[in-house]
Amino acid sequence: MNNPLIFGFALVAVDVVIWRCTTPKNEVARLLVRLCIYAAFSALLFGSGLSPFSQAPYEDSKPLHVLGQVLEIIWWLMGARLLSLALDTLLLPQTWRRQRLFSDVFGAVVFLAAVVAALGFVLELPVRGLVATSGALAIVLGLAIQSTLSDVFAGIVINTTEPYHIGNWVIIDGVEGKVLEMNWRATHLLTSQGNIVIVPNAVAAKAKITNNSRPSALHGVTLMLEITPEARPSVVLAALERALAGVRAVIADPAPYAIVKRTSIMSVTYEATAYVDDMGKKLAVTNELFDLCYRQLQAAGVELKPLGVGYSPSSPSLAQQTDPRVALLRRVEIFAALTAEELQRLAPMLSRRSYERGDTVVTPDKVLGHLTIVDSGVLSVVAEDASGPVEVTRLGPGDALGEFGLLAGMPARVTISALTSATVYQLKKEDLTPLLKDKPDVAREMCQMLSRRQDTLGKLGTPTPVAQSEQSIFQWLLDGMKKLHDLTF
């Protein structure tokens, strides 16, 4: 007589072990195993007279009667749990399963129904009176938790309409972040500052929602720049378009653009917009675009100054007083060690050259006998690999090419062409040699600076020594410089 109870509790124990140990690991397989255990448990109860639709037998033994009642109640609760799991695992879409709202609400309803059924069938309590009383109690509780209920129903609407999913970057009610969790009460956002912001579903349902992750392959990057009204708009727009063309990660369709957004007495606001195909690129592209806008505007002669400073035609600015060639040399990294007087000596030796869009500036395997500094426009650097020509970088104002040919006689095994109309200045090797002979410390600093830029060696196709340490590259460059310029230090 005790065997049905023993086997029943043994099956319950096995089900608990499978649930807690998550064995087997596959979710569907684990559910099927638990359903088989539940089927065996049901067959055992009904076969031994322990029907969950009536009170347990063993009236003559109080302990056995209570244990039978417990098994019958467990049957109802286990069935409710497996029903909710089956719905969650087999029927719900993957996105709904991650959000947990529907499974939680359905599970709560099923468990409530199982509890009422167990009270009515197993314990034979007056369920009708209980339901009537619970209805009045539900009204009182509903009024008390009105805001929570609004979050629940708003969550149902959000999960049904799916304005965003877990993992999306969204802006909800002015808060921008990545969706980490969506539950019955709120949406959890991880902001760019690393903070968790909890937005109630009722607020999210009423707020304007911007989903930055949709469409998945198109994300906009927009910069707002306030420029002095003294600058001609066509000059500014042309400079901004060159800056947009200088960012390699920007996609061609839809095309980037620059427009005049609004004007005022103190400034003109310009908007530069570009698009990328990956949300993860937005930060890097934004920073690169800001830098290129600054350089292209400066190259176009647009003075960047505090907008509150008045304009005085009779008082030229410091930028207007400085030789633009000196300012250009100062922006080249390898000349950072030169003094103002040394830059003044080199500036007259620069020769100016212009290229139209599509013109070739450098051909592969050519050892450049001069340093080329981009003054305006955009140059494209293309290298050959096993799959064909690949663009490796783009050069804008202040960028230099040919440093390794100028200092060490190394070829740049790439093709460099003008992506837009461009103006460059060139410095011949013979013009730099006297300075290097007079200033050996400057020569060493130039080699030291180039040795830190190992990525540039690869981008420009320059052959490097087998050992890739900074010291070996420095010595390699220094030896090449001594040989090329006939230096004896």
| Spatial distance between the Cα atoms of 280 and 360, rounded to a whole number of angstroms | 33
Q: Which tens digits make up the pLDDT trace of 257-269?
A: 999 999 888 889 9
Average pLDDT, integer, range 325-333: 83
The identity of residue 125, as a single letter, is L
Comparison of pLDDT for 194 and 111, the residue scoring more: 194
Q: What angle do CA 340, 341, 347 make, to 5 degrees?
A: 85
Q: Which tens digits make up the pLDDT trace of 269-322?
A: 999 999 998 888 888 999 999 999 998 998 888 877 665 555 444 444 444 456
Domain ranges of the chain: 3-144, 163-211, 219-299, 324-485
Phi, psi of 128, rounded to the nearest 5 degrees? -60, -45
Count CA atoms within 13 Å of residue 37 on its CB side. 23
CB 457 within 8 A of CB 468: no
CB 242 within 8 A of CB 296: yes
At residue 447, the pLDDT reads 76
Percent of the chain past pLDDT 90, that is, above it, reads: 21
Q: Which tens digits make up the pLDDT trace of 108-156?
A: 788 888 888 888 888 877 766 656 556 655 665 555 556 777 887 888 7
CB 440 within 8 A of CB 382: no
- Which CATH number among 3.30.70.100, 3.30.9.10, 2.40.160.10, 3.40.50.720 corresponds to the domain 219-299? 3.30.70.100
Give the global pTM.
Answer: 0.59
Sign of CA dihedral 322, 325, 327, 329: negative
At residue 81, the pLDDT reads 86
CB 383 within 8 A of CB 413: yes
Q: Which tens digits make up the pLDDT trace of 447-460?
A: 777 776 555 555 55
In which element (H, E) is residue 360 found?
A: strand 360-362
Fold of 324-485: Jelly Rolls (2.60.120)
| Spatial distance between the Cα atoms of 143 and 484, rounded to a whole number of angstroms | 88
Class of the CATH-defined domain 163-211: mainly beta
The identity of residue 256, as a single letter, is P
At residue 407, the pLDDT reads 67
Percent of the chain past pLDDT 70, that is, above it, reads: 82
Comparison of pLDDT for 420 and 448, the residue scoring more: 420
